[in-house]
Amino acid sequence: MVCGSWLNVSGGPADSLVNEYDTDLLSAAFHQGRREALRSLLPENSAAIFFANSIKNRSNDVDFEFHQSPNFYYLTGYTEPHGIFIIFKEVQSKDGQRFDELIFVQPRDSTKELWVGKRLGVEGVQKILGIQSAFANEHFADFELDFSVFDQVYVIPDDQVMADNSTDRGDRFSLKKHLQMKMDTTGRNINTVLLKEMMSGLREVKESEELELLRRAIDITCLAHQELMEKIKVGQNEYHAEAILEYVFKSEGAEYPGFPSIVGAGENSCILHYTTNRKILQDNDLVVVDIGAEYHGYSADVTRTFPVNGKFSKEQMLIYNIVLEAQEAGIAACLPGNRFWAANQAATRVIIKRLKQLNLITDSREYRKYFMHGTSHYLGLDVHDAGLFGNLSEGNVLTVEPGIYIPEGSPCDPKWWNIGVRIEDDVLITKTGYEVLSDCIPKSVSDIEEMMAAPK
């Protein structure tokens, strides 16, 4: 990279999902529809406020790649920092102008764009995103808005740490400061709880445009798993496996991994969110591979566990088959009308029964020693996506991912030690049942062994 003294205050590396190259981005009509859906949830005489994410510094002149706030992206399609979006229940009038939403964004700036990439600017937001009441962020400070006139002003509490660029009146720091100055100083009408709930209710039901992107992210992730099952070798490092996986992500057009890839072999298979990925793969290791490509903002999350040498040992197979049976029971419980946690309950029942049969536990409550997480989360713009965790309904996408982890030193026969197994699929709830979106990767012991033994 080239050096520049203001690199870290200019917007971070270019990360525009709104670009001139991709033709399958979410449409302006989709975002507009989501804004209308939110407006219909807002009570009379209310407003809701959203900030774009902050830029996060990695060290000195280098920032982390910018990632937009999922709520901001969902409602606007805007993928740059230093923005604020305000949606009103009713049409507002000011200086002869009428609007029911306002967005303040980074203005075009040829010098900064030369360094970190094109900005959409005010005109781009109007033309491409279709939000007409758009302004440069530096004008937010002087834009007359009196939030004390509303019965309710909804905000999501802001936990972002942000640097102040004192030369920029429109940076995130200034937007927040000037919003506070426009708020009712008594805090009487400020609600910091319900907006998150409203957005969760919207985001937990995926629209067809979202499902297209999510399916693409999941298909890419499945390809990566298949590629690794065919290429993995004893003697490689965990990071070789990670490289094979992420090569597929990138070469298939996924912008990023949706979360750091987990490639945990042997003892590391028992670390739930292991991401060091440095160990040398040994002959008798099982490897937990928990990965998800992110495509245009939507992240997959699929886990497979398999033996590095292509053949399960007797103990590995016994534990693997318990997890698989639990997962199948969990998936079968993913029916519209069932509670969100039905899959967790069904999977847990299987795990308790089978762990008892293997004498790994005697009391049902002891299962937590070996299965210490839930089976499910929603999936979407966040890998652990927003949702209300009530009853399942058409358009929900959730994971089903039971696991059993027996680290060295566990109170059982050492023959079980260092066996960690997790199996995870992504499940779409349909009108009458479910569809497993990630079912093209082998899952049974025989299918995995067959695939790994196939001539390369």
**Cα-Cα-Cα-Cα dihedral of 297, 298, 299, 300, to 10°?**
-150
Concatenated DSSP letters of 258-281: SS--EEEEGGGGGSTT-----SBP
Q: How many CB atoms lie within 10 A of CB 148?
A: 12
Residue 231, SS3 per DSSP: helix
Structure tokens at 103: 């967005």
Pairing of strands 62-63, 57-59: antiparallel
Catalytic, out of 215, 242, 422, 434: 422
Nearer to ligand GLY, 34 or 67 (CB): 67
Nearer to ligand GLY, 301 or 425 (CB): 301
Residues that bind Mn ion (rule: CB under 5 A) add up to a total of: 2
Pick from 15, 210, 242, 301 the residue near ligand GLY by CB under 6 A.
301
Applying the rule CB under 6 A, the residues between 392 and 421 that interact with ligand GLY are none
Catalytic (active site) residue 61: yes
Catalytic (active site) residue 424: yes
Applying the rule CB under 6 A, the residues between 340 and 399 that interact with ligand GLY are 377
Residues that bind ligand GLY (rule: CB under 6 A) add up to a total of: 4
**Type of residue found at 447:** D
Residue 425 engages ligand GLY in binding (rule: CB under 6 A) = no
What DSSP element (H or E) covers 240? helix 238-251
Catalytic (active site) residue 95: no
Pick from 204, 301, 382, 385 the residue near Mn ion by CB under 5 A.
301
Which among 27-35, 322-330, 396-404, 408-416 is the span making contact with Mn ion, rule CB under 5 A? Answer: 396-404
Say how far apart CA 334 and CA 433 lie, in whole Å.
7
Catalytic, out of 210, 246, 285, 301: 301
Catalytic (active site) residue 168: no
Catalytic (active site) residue 426: no
What DSSP element (H or E) covers 225? helix 208-231
Q: Using alpha carbons, select from 63, 93, 78, 75 the residue that is nearest to residue 39.
A: 75
Residue 392, SS3 per DSSP: coil
Catalytic, out of 188, 273, 278, 368: 273
Catalytic (active site) residue 349: no
Pick from 399, 421, 426, 438 the residue near Mn ion by CB under 5 A.
399
Pair 257, 284: CB distance under 8 Å = no
Nearer to Mn ion, 47 or 254 (CB): 254
Catalytic, out of 188, 278, 339, 384: 384
Instruction: Tell me 282's DSSP state.
Output: P
Catalytic (active site) residue 377: yes
Pick from 204, 210, 246, 290 the residue near ligand GLY by CB under 6 A.
290
Catalytic (active site) residue 159: no
Pair 117, 14: CB distance under 8 Å = yes
Q: Which residues make up the interface to ligand GLY (CB under 6 A)?
A: 259, 290, 301, 377
Q: Which residues make up the interface to Mn ion (CB under 5 A)?
A: 301, 399
Q: Give me the active site residues, please.
A: 61, 273, 290, 301, 373, 377, 384, 401, 405, 422, 424
